[in-house]
């Protein structure tokens, strides 16, 4: 498959084939999507909001957001934002982006409107008729709709997102037309996606995972993506029964919640066999992978992605090739290597920092020369620079990558280094544990010590002592959590990812 370099050339579906669907809605065809994109892009051009205009998008999850993102990114710069942000957060992001316009849903009283008014940012209302095909929308620009010619080039910026900012000020990540097309095409090849496939999207569409893996990769395959209002444990199996997907992609916390409700939905699972399940954006505990494969009777494909790589970097392959539990697979698009502290390539089996380069990798953060200087490492052979992921990992002799942890998340207990993921995997292997996340707490003599937050399964009876004994039998003594706190839900970021840094404070342990 030839990889397109601009988004207008990405969709591969037959004109009458469904492209975007949604629960309870008539799907939008590929021909309809092309018309929708051209009309929206034409309106933006006529309003002077094309080229490198930055258009923030604050819309609820669903088909209109999927098609609006595609239309805007194909002709300008899309900047989707979390609609749950508060006034101060919108003020930061709209200011930092230097947004030229803000797209909001008609009638939605989001605080982003008032912030945009204060900042002098133009507000555009998006109208959606739920009786029309899913993904159909209008933009209230008071300009007669026109059809825009395709003028974007491969190097034009199409999407800007912020890094999570858990350890520093969020950085702006610009991704070009070519970056997005390359990553979507890599996912198509990795998963052997085809027009027969239907993806059930439960990921937020202000996040790179949902935007690229669910929406753009599906369009690049000629398949159909069913866009839900967002993740809902109670609605997931009803959506599955209606959409009859061949796959879905999610973060591990979502998979774990789905498993908790799978027992009462065996008939839906049996009647809607998935070809595979994809997991990405954070570590999938091997015990959870095994349970998913047992319950859904299909392979679970764990992948490794990040915003700076337009999502996918490595992936476990489909059967009959090996899927290695605990590993994030083989390079799946960009080149992937591991560097030691001296900037030399590590041999197989030796831990170092994971670095990447390739057509899906950003050329650098926007307006941040200091961050770019530290984010890119010179090639030992003098070739193109490598992007430093900040993750520690090991490549085995077969080329499979295992992530040890984030460099900044490694717990330093009196000089002994502990990878939180290793402790997570041990705790989640206990029959009573539904979720676990390990993190650092302060210690007066050691500097840091190990703690864990645990969500127990329904009717479980294990206490802190039982779990510590379980861990002690499987871990070196210095890795066993000194504190285990039981919670009904582990605090997560906006995209459902577990956040270790700052968790001690959130849980009242500091």
Task: With CA atoms as reference, report the closest residue to 313 among 377, 373, 359.
Answer: 359
Q: Point out the domain boundary residue: 174, 208, 229.
A: 229
23-76 pLDDT per residue, tens: 999 999 999 999 999 999 988 988 889 788 999 999 999 999 999 999 999 999
The answer to the question of residue 123 being in a domain is yes
Check residue 383 and give its pLDDT: 80
Give one DSSP letter per residue of 471-490, joined into a string.
Answer: HHTTS-GGGS-SEEEE-SS-
Mean pLDDT (whole number) for 446-460: 91
Specify whether the CB–CB gap between 320 and 396 falls below 8 A: no
- Neighbour count for residue 76 (Cβ, 10 Å): 24
303-325 pLDDT per residue, tens: 999 999 999 999 999 999 999 98
Of 43-47, 226-230, 342-346, 431-435, the range with the lowest mean pLDDT is: 43-47
pLDDT over 60 at 219, yes or no: yes
pTM value is 0.86
Backbone angles phi, psi at 392, to 5 degrees: -95, 140
Of the CA atoms within 13 Å of residue 107, those in its CB half-sphere come to 3
Distances (CA, A) of 380 to 337, 364, 389, 484: 11, 20, 17, 43
Specify whether the CB–CB gap between 250 and 202 falls below 8 A: yes
Backbone angles phi, psi at 397, to 5 degrees: -65, -20
Q: Domain of 493: which CATH number?
A: 3.30.300.30
The answer to the question of residue 287 being in a domain is no
- State the average pLDDT for the chain: 92
85 or 200, which is more confident: 200
Rounded Cα distance between 61 and 43, Å, is 23
Check residue 166 and give its pLDDT: 45
pLDDT over 90 at 501, yes or no: no
Check residue 147 and give its pLDDT: 66
- What range defines the domain where residue 416 resides? 411-506
Q: Order of strands, edge to edge, in the sheet holding 18-21?
A: 28-29, 18-21, 224-227, 198-201, 247-250, 276-279, 300-306, 311-315, 330-331
Nearby residues of 142 by Cβ (< 8 Å), 6 or more positions away: none
Of 76-80, 261-265, 401-405, 413-417, the range with the lowest mean pLDDT is: 413-417
The answer to the question of residue 147 being in a domain is yes
The answer to the question of residue 167 being in a domain is yes
Check residue 175 and give its pLDDT: 98
Check residue 476 and give its pLDDT: 79
Question: For the chain, what percent of residues have pLDDT higher than 90?
Answer: 75
Beta strands in 129-171 (DSSP E): 138-140, 157-162
Rounded Cα distance between 184 and 212, Å, is 6
Specify whether the CB–CB gap between 327 and 316 falls below 8 A: yes
167 or 389, which is more confident: 389
Check residue 137 and give its pLDDT: 97
Of 148-157, 256-265, 271-280, 457-466, the range with the lowest mean pLDDT is: 148-157
Question: For the chain, what percent of residues have pLDDT higher than 70?
Answer: 96
The answer to the question of residue 209 being in a domain is yes
The answer to the question of residue 192 being in a domain is yes
Q: What is the DSSP letter of 363?
A: S
Rounded Cα distance between 55 and 47, Å, is 12
Q: Point out the domain boundary residue: 184, 214, 229.
A: 229
505 or 335, which is more confident: 335
Of 98-107, 419-428, 478-487, 497-506, the range with the lowest mean pLDDT is: 497-506
Of the CA atoms within 13 Å of residue 188, those in its CB half-sphere come to 26
Angle, vertex CA 73, rays to CA 67 and CA 79, nearest 5: 95
Of 194-198, 261-265, 348-352, 413-417, the range with the lowest mean pLDDT is: 413-417
Q: Domain of 220: which CATH number?
A: 3.40.50.12780
Which helix (H) or strand (E) element contains residue 70?
A: helix 63-75
Check residue 460 and give its pLDDT: 93
Mean pLDDT (whole number) for 451-460: 93
Total count of domains within the chain: 2
The answer to the question of residue 90 being in a domain is yes
Band of residue 502 on the pLDDT scale cut at 50, 70, 90? confident
The answer to the question of residue 300 being in a domain is no
pLDDT over 80 at 498, yes or no: no
Specify whether the CB–CB gap between 85 and 493 falls below 8 A: no
Give one DSSP letter per residue of 85-134, joined into a string.
Answer: --HHHHHHHHHHHT-SEEEEETT---HHHHHHHHHT-EEEEEE--TTSPT
Backbone angles phi, psi at 27, to 5 degrees: -75, 155
Q: Point out the domain boundary residue: 196, 229, 262.
A: 229
Specify which residues 485 forms β-bridges with. 453
244-255 pLDDT per residue, tens: 999 999 988 899
Give Cα 128 to chain centroid, integer Å: 26
116 or 251, which is more confident: 116
Check residue 291 and give its pLDDT: 96
Mean pLDDT (whole number) for 111-133: 96
Angle, vertex CA 279, rays to CA 277 and CA 284, nearest 5: 120
Mean pLDDT (whole number) for 84-112: 94
Mean pLDDT (whole number) for 98-109: 96
158-199 pLDDT per residue, tens: 999 998 654 457 899 999 999 999 999 999 999 999 999 999
SS3 10: coil
Q: What is the DSSP letter of 2?
A: P
Give one DSSP letter per residue of 402-433, joined into a string.
Answer: EEEEETTT-EEETTEEE-HHHHHHHHHTSTTE
């Amino acid at each position: 498959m030839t990889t397109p370099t601009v988004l207008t050339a990405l969709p591969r579906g037959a004109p009458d084939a469904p492209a975007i669907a949604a629960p309870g809605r008539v799907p939008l065809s590929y021909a309809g999507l092309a018309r929708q994109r051209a009309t929206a892009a034409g309106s933006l051009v006529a309003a002077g909001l094309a080229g490198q205009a930055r258009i923030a998008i604050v819309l609820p999850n669903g088909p209109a957001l999927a098609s609006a993102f595609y239309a805007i990114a194909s002709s300008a710069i899309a900047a989707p934002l979390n609609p749950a942000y508060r006034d101060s957060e919108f003020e930061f992001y709209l200011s930092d982006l230097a947004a030229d316009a803000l797209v909001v849903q008609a009638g939605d009283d989001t605080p982003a409107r008032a912030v945009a008014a204060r900042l002098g940012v133009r507000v555009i209302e998006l109208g959606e008729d739920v009786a029309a095909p899913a993904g159909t929308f209008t933009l209230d620009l008071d300009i007669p709709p026109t059809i825009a010619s395709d003028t974007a080039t491969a190097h034009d910026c199409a999407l800007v997102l912020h890094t999570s900012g858990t350890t520093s000020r969020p950085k702006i990540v610009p991704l070009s037309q070519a970056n997005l097309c390359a990553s979507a095409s890599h996912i198509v090849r990795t998963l052997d996606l085809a027009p027969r496939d239907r993806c059930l999207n439960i990921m937020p569409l202000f996040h790179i995972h949902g935007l690229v893996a669910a929406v753009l990769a599906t369009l690049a395959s000629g398949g159909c993506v069913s866009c839900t209002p967002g993740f809902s444990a109670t609605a997931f199996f009803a959506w599955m029964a209606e959409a009859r997907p061949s796959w879905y992609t999610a973060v591990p916390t979502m998979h774990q919640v789905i498993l908790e409700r799978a027992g009462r939905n065996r008939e839906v699972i049996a009647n809607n066999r998935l070809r595979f399940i994809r997991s990405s954006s954070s570590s999938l505990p091997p015990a959870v992978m095994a349970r998913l494969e047992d319950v859904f009777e299909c392979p679970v494909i764990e992948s490794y992605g990040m915003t700076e790589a337009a999502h996918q970097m490595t992936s476990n392959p489909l059967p009959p090739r090996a899927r290695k539990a605990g590993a994030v697979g083989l390079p799946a698009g960009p080149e992937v290597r591991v560097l030691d502290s001296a900037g030399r390539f590590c041999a197989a089996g030796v831990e170092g920092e994971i670095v990447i380069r390739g057509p899906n990798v950003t050329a650098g953060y926007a307006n941040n020369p200091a961050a770019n200087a530290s984010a890119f490492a010179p090639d030992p052979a003098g070739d193109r620079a490598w992007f430093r992921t900040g993750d520690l990992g090991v490549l085995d002799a077969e080329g499979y990558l295992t992530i040890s942890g984030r460099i900044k998340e490694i717990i330093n207990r009196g000089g002994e280094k502990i990878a939180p993921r290793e402790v997570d995997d041990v705790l989640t292997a206990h029959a009573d544990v539904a979720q676990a996340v390990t993190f650092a707490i302060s210690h007066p003599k050691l500097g840091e010590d190990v703690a864990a937050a645990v969500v127990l399964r329904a009717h479980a009876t294990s206490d802190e002592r039982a779990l510590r004994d379980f861990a002690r039998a499987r871990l070196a003594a210095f890795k066993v959590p000194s504190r285990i706190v039981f919670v009904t839900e582990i605090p997560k970021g906006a995209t459902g990812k577990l956040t270790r840094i700052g968790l001690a404070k959130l849980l009242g342990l500091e």
